[in-house]
């Protein structure tokens, strides 16, 4: 038996390390036993048993996923499973090849039920329990949705140009109807390929695993007894030349797909398939940028709010990205001559550290992370006196949350879906910005993880003491690939979407436009902080996973939130008027924020920049783009109602291309955002000096 060399290298390295440093046995690597926060019964989470098959209920369930609408409320809001919008009610499944509406204030895909599939054979109405659709399985890249009352199963695989449907047990009579008019319907001689032309200029191809003779009317086609698999795809632009492509790949269908972080900065997809031949799937623009090795059908395009999707052949994909550095201190360093100014600000900022008055998990997290920054800046600019003061503050501030005896809030474990909720959130779906229904976990916990990583660095004894809790907080949103010490009571990744390649903040609530995320910079912060936790505990594995997800989140932010002039993904008017998306939804791009109107562009800038840490430099690595964003946001600073605290972020970004003017403006500031300090702002701008 031969183990891979790298395994041995790792083993011998760690043995050497433990011998060399006796202390390392306690600080090195992950905790030996996973820590579980005290359990609670939430009164506000929905009951997953309404939609998930019973065999899935004993494991943690997805709370921020691409199919979340199917399992909350009535389960009948549509979801975007590229390239189709899909809506399921208890008795039928409708799908839409959406068209894009775009103006200067929003971009949205419109759902029109182009085709609706159902069965003419219903189970008896008395089978009430079976009336709802069921999720019978799910994976990173797919969800399998059953209509038990109709004997139909749908393999909904992301990026599949074919919608795949199967009769579950016995044979069934199929019905495919449309709200449009069927202009023509034809079947080939084998009766396994059929063409539906609609009066909205769409052409749909229908493939069946066995011959079927359909009858049709102007709005419906129906089959006789059928017990196999059917696949339906729209012909891109109704162009005949692509019919051969769909023909060729129609007989191989994916039923599930996994995403694996096998190595740092490398993500692999592998689909489980049935039928004959190779898989044809569609890649979005970021896939296209990272994909290596597969045959790409460049002309074979489907339109999408996320940019054109192109055909890719293969049963697995490899996505490779450029490594990014994860550091405690500024990447390029700061010139010594600026130290005194930073130290003077630091002194005053450290003096402001008293007790934290807010019980909100978000604002509390922001305040501890803000304090933690001061210790790292003190290290960098040579002011060690501040470090023990910050350490003491951090320890006192995070301890009650980690010990579970903070009287005003705390972290608890909720078993129905499998994750943390706050004490306040366990009885309210709005407290802590909906943390109790799984909104924003990576944002809030990211700040806590950041603070604890810094505490572990500057106060190793506290680091050792709270390591189990620190890992448990991190694993609530990033449990992926932790190997033997992964947590069986959390899902793999809560917020990160392995297909879209960024996170979703919205949790267990139905939304017409699917999941959403506002702040990409706070999402980056969550994975960056997890990587820092890895650095603090000398856990290389954790560091690599955190940095890989941070790198993907950054690329996604640059692809879909950062809007370049002339970008044609979102339409001319939208890209002329906007440099940043406000809230990105699966099915919409909004210019509003949850807390501010579209005109408050400085807020839109701020929420995509905060908190400023070394990783911000990678997120805004393009100084020309930063200049465009600042010029777009500056005028809004004079709007009445807009707090002057947002200036922090405008000037921070200005620092990337003009640090002298940014410093001059920063010196005049009289107030700062609650997660920001003068010392951090000066530190950041000086770190941008070129
Ligand atoms: C489900 O959708 C179909 C097609 O739109 C409709 O005819 C049916 O009444 C709906 N059923 C329910 C329970 O809403
Ligand atoms: C853009 O379209 C949306 C939806 O149709 C509409 O509500 C909004 O007023 C439009 N905005 C502008 C600036 O035209
Ligand atoms: C399905 O429905 C059709 C039409 O209502 C009926 O003729 C046929 O016998 C049914 N088949 C089964 C298996 O129930
Ligand atoms: C297509 O048919 C539908 C349903 O009859 C009708 O409402 C619609 O106006 C028609 N569209 C066109 C472009 O003719
Ligand atoms: C909180 O719990 C910890 C650990 O059990 C204990 O050391 C600490 O004294 C407690 N703090 C308070 C305020 O009760
Ligand atoms: C969620 O679903 C309910 C029931 O269908 C509906 O009344 C509500 O408007 C939906 N909420 C959102 C935000 O779409
Ligand atoms: C920086 O800003 C100042 C003040 O607005 C301006 O005079 C200077 O030319 C700018 N420098 C660069 C490199 O853009």
Q: Which residues line ligand 5 (CB under 6 A)?
A: 403, 405
Residue that the structure tokens 């799984």 belong to: 438
Q: Worst-scoring range by mean pLDDT, 29-33, 42-46, 113-117, 487-491?
A: 29-33
| pLDDT in the model for residue 1 | 31
| Confidence class for position 682, pLDDT limits 50, 70, 90 | very high
Q: Which two tokens stand for residue 71?
A: 């399992």
Q: Which ligand is closest to the CA of 396, given by its number?
A: 5
Residue 21 has pLDDT above 70, yes or no: no
Residue 407 has pLDDT above 80, yes or no: yes
| pLDDT in the model for residue 162 | 98
Q: Which two tokens stand for residue 429?
A: 């779906």
| C-beta 181 within 6 A of ligand 4 | yes
Q: How many CB atoms lie within 10 A of CB 181?
A: 11
| pLDDT in the model for residue 171 | 80
DSSP-assigned letter for residue 235:
P
Residue 309 has pLDDT above 90, yes or no: yes
Residue 9 has pLDDT above 50, yes or no: no
| Confidence class for position 312, pLDDT limits 50, 70, 90 | very high
- Name the residue among 8, 23, 259, 43 with its Cα closest to residue 138: 259
SS3 content of the chain, % helix, strand, coil (to 5): 40, 25, 40
User: How many helices (DSSP H) and strands (DSSP E) are in the chain?
Assistant: 19, 31
Sheet of strand 79-81: strand arrangement? 79-81, 84-88, 93-96, 115-119, 174-177, 220-223, 214-216
| pLDDT in the model for residue 288 | 98
CA–CA separation, 391 and 457 (whole Å)? 9
Q: Which ligand is closest to the CA of 599, given by its number?
A: 2
CA–CA separation, 68 and 670 (whole Å)? 44
Is the distance from CB of 219 to CB of 182 less than 8 angstroms? yes
CA–CA separation, 44 and 530 (whole Å)? 29
CA of 298 to the centre of ligand 4 (A): 33
| pLDDT in the model for residue 225 | 87
CA of 509 to the centre of ligand 6 (A): 8
Residue 128 has pLDDT above 60, yes or no: no
The mean pLDDT value for 473-492 works out to: 86
Distances (CA, A) of 214 to 6, 186, 193, 206, 340: 58, 9, 11, 11, 82
43 Cα distance to chain centroid: 26
Furthest C-alpha separation in the chain: 85
- Per residue in 412-439, pLDDT (tens digit) is 999 999 999 999 999 999 999 999 999 9
| Confidence class for position 170, pLDDT limits 50, 70, 90 | confident
CA of 126 to the centre of ligand 1 (A): 18
Q: Worst-scoring range by mean pLDDT, 87-91, 115-119, 130-134, 355-359?
A: 130-134
CA–CA separation, 199 and 182 (whole Å)? 6
Tell me, yes or no, if 431 is annotated catalytic: no
CA of 113 to the centre of ligand 2 (A): 22
Residue 168 has pLDDT above 90, yes or no: no
| pLDDT in the model for residue 608 | 98
Q: Is 483 exposed, middle or buried (0-12, 13-18, 19+ CB in 10 A)?
A: exposed
Q: Which residue has the higher pLDDT, 146 or 13?
A: 146
Residue 465 has pLDDT above 50, yes or no: yes
| Confidence class for position 125, pLDDT limits 50, 70, 90 | low
Q: Which residue has the higher pLDDT, 1 or 106?
A: 106
| pLDDT in the model for residue 239 | 85
Instruction: Specify the ligand 7 atom closest to the Cα of 660.
Output: 1
Own/partner long-range contacts of 457-461 (Cβ < 8 Å, ≥24 apart): 457/328, 457/535, 457/536, 458/375, 458/379, 458/387, 458/388, 458/390, 458/391, 459/391, 459/394, 459/395, 460/27
- Residue 342: which region, alpha, beta or left (left: phi > 0; alpha: psi -120 to 50)? alpha
Residue 254 has pLDDT above 50, yes or no: yes
Residue 158 has pLDDT above 70, yes or no: yes
The residue from 306, 476, 497, 522 that is catalytic is: 522
DSSP H helices, 144-260, are: 243-249
The mean pLDDT value for 650-668 works out to: 97
Percent share of the chain, pLDDT over 90:
88
Q: Is the peptide bond before 678 cis (omega within 30 degrees of 0)?
A: no
| C-beta 592 within 6 A of ligand 2 | no
Instruction: Specify the ligand 6 atom closest to the Cα of 511.
Output: 14
The torsion angles phi and psi of 11, rounded to 5 degrees, stand at -60, -50
Task: Write down all domains in the chain, each with its CATH number in brackets.
Answer: 59-250 (2.70.98.30), 336-687 (1.50.10)
| Confidence class for position 22, pLDDT limits 50, 70, 90 | very low
CA–CA separation, 249 and 368 (whole Å)? 54
Residue 122 has pLDDT above 90, yes or no: no
| C-beta 363 within 6 A of ligand 3 | no
Distances (CA, A) of 553 to 16, 451, 528, 674: 35, 21, 10, 24
Q: Which helix (H) or strand (E) holds 288?
A: helix 285-290
Q: Which ligand is closest to the CA of 516, given by its number?
A: 6
Tell me, yes or no, if 689 is annotated catalytic: no
The residue from 518, 590, 648, 673 that is catalytic is: 518
Residue 155 has pLDDT above 80, yes or no: yes
CA–CA separation, 338 and 688 (whole Å)? 12
| pLDDT in the model for residue 502 | 98
Instruction: Specify the ligand 5 atom closest to the Cα of 405.
Output: 1
Ligand 5 pocket: which of 402, 403, 462, 465 to mutate (most atoms within 8 A of CB): 403
| C-beta 89 within 6 A of ligand 6 | no
DSSP-assigned letter for residue 287:
H
| C-beta 180 within 6 A of ligand 4 | yes
Q: Which residues pair with 165 in a beta bridge?
A: 154, 230
Residue 56 has pLDDT above 50, yes or no: yes
3-state secondary structure of 84: strand
Give the contacts of 385 (CB within 8 A, at least 6 positions apart): 378
| pLDDT in the model for residue 628 | 98
Q: Based on C-alpha coordinates, what's the Rg of the chain? A: 27
| pLDDT in the model for residue 123 | 64
| Confidence class for position 4, pLDDT limits 50, 70, 90 | very low
CA of 37 to the centre of ligand 5 (A): 15
Q: Do the strands 419-422 and 316-320 form a parallel or antiparallel pair, or are they unpaired?
A: unpaired
| C-beta 171 within 6 A of ligand 3 | yes
Degrees (nearest 5) of the Cα angle 511, 514, 515? 100
H/E/C letters for each residue in 485-520?
Answer: HCCCCCCCECCEECCCCEECCCCCCCCCCCCEECCH
CA–CA separation, 555 and 561 (whole Å)? 10
Mean pLDDT score across all residues of the chain: 93
CA of 106 to the centre of ligand 2 (A): 7
Q: Which two tokens stand for residue 386?
A: 């501040």
- Per residue in 346-379, pLDDT (tens digit) is 999 999 999 999 999 999 999 999 999 999 999 9
| Confidence class for position 678, pLDDT limits 50, 70, 90 | very high
Percent share of the chain, pLDDT over 70:
94
The torsion angles phi and psi of 74, rounded to 5 degrees, stand at -90, 0
Tell me, yes or no, if 263 is annotated catalytic: no
| pLDDT in the model for residue 127 | 52
């Amino acid at each position: 038996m031969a183990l891979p060399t790298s395994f041995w290298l790792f083993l011998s390295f760690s043995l050497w390390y433990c011998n060399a440093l006796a202390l390392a046995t306690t600080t090195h690597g992950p905790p030996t036993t996973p820590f579980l926060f005290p359990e609670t019964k939430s009164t506000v989470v929905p009951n997953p048993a309404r939609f998930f098959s019973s065999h899935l209920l004993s494991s943690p369930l997805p709370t921020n996923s691409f199919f979340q609408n199917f399992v909350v409320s009535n389960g009948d809001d549509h979801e975007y499973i590229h390239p189709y919008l899909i809506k399921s009610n208890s008795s039928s499944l409708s799908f839409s090849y959406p068209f894009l509406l775009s103006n200067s204030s929003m971009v949205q895909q419109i759902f029109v039920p182009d085709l609706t599939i159902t069965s003419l054979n219903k189970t008896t109405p008395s089978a009430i329990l079976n009336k709802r659709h069921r999720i019978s399985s799910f994976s990173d890249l797919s969800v399998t949705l059953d209509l038990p009352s109709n004997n139909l199963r749908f393999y909904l695989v992301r990026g599949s140009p074919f919608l795949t449907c199967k009769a579950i047990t016995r044979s069934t009579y199929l019905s495919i109807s449309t709200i449009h008019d069927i202009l023509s319907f034809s079947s080939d001689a084998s009766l396994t390929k059929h063409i539906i032309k609609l009066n909205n200029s769409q052409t749909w191809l229908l493939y069946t695993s066995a011959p079927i003779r359909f009858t049709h009317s102007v709005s419906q086609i129906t089959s006789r007894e059928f017990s196999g698999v059917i696949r339906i795809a729209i012909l891109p632009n109704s162009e005949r030349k692509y019919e051969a492509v769909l023909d060729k790949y129609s007989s191989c269908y994916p039923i599930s797909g996994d995403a694996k972080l096998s190595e740092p900065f490398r993500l692999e997809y592998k689909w489980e398939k049935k039928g004959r031949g190779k898989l044809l799937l569609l890649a979005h623009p970021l896939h296209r940028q990272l994909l290596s090795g597969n045959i790409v059908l460049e002309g074979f395009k489907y339109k999408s709010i996320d940019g054109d999707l192109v055909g890719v052949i293969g049963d697995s994909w490899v996505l490779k990205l450029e490594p990014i550095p994860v550091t405690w201190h500024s990447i390029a360093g700061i010139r010594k001559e600026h130290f005194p100014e930073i130290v003077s600000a630091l002194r005053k900022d450290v003096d402001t550290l008293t007790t934290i008055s807010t019980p909100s998990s978000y604002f509390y997290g922001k305040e501890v992370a803000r304090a933690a920054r001061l210790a790292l800046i003190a290290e960098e600019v040579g002011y060690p006196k501040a470090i023990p003061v910050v350490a003491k503050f951090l320890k006192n501030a995070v301890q009650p949350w980690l010990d579970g005896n903070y009287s005003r809030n705390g972290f608890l474990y909720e078993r129905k879906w499998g994750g943390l909720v706050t004490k306040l959130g366990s009885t309210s779906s709005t407290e802590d910005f909906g943390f109790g229904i799984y909104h924003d976990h990576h944002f809030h916990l990211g700040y806590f993880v950041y603070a604890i990583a810094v505490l572990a660095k500057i106060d190793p004894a506290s680091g050792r003491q709270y390591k189990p809790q620190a890992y448990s907080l991190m694993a609530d949103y990033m449990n992926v690939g932790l190997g033997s010490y992964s947590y069986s009571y959390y899902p793999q990744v809560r917020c990160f979407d392995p297909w879209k390649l960024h996170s979703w903040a919205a949790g267990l609530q139905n939304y017409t436009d699917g999941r959403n995320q506002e702040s990409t910079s706070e999402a980056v912060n969550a994975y960056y902080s997890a990587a820092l936790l890895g650095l603090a505990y000398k856990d290389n594995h954790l560091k690599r996973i955190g940095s890989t997800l941070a790198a993907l989140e950054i690329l996604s932010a640059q692809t879909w939130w950062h809007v370049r002039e002339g970008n044609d993904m979102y339409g001319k008017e939208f890209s002329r008027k906007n440099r940043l998306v406000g809230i990105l939804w699966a099915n919409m791009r909004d210019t509003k924020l949850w807390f501010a109107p579209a005109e408050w562009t400085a807020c839109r800038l701020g929420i995509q920049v905060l908190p400023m840490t070394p990783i911000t430099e990678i997120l805004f690595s393009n100084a020309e783009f930063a200049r465009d964003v600042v010029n777009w946001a500056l005028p809004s600073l004079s709007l009445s109602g807009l707090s002057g605290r947002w200036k922090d972020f405008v000037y921070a970004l200005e620092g990337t291309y003009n640090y002298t003017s940014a410093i001059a403006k920063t010196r005049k500031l009289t107030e700062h955002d609650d997660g920001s300090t003068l010392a951090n702002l000066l530190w950041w701008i000086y770190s941008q000096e070129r």
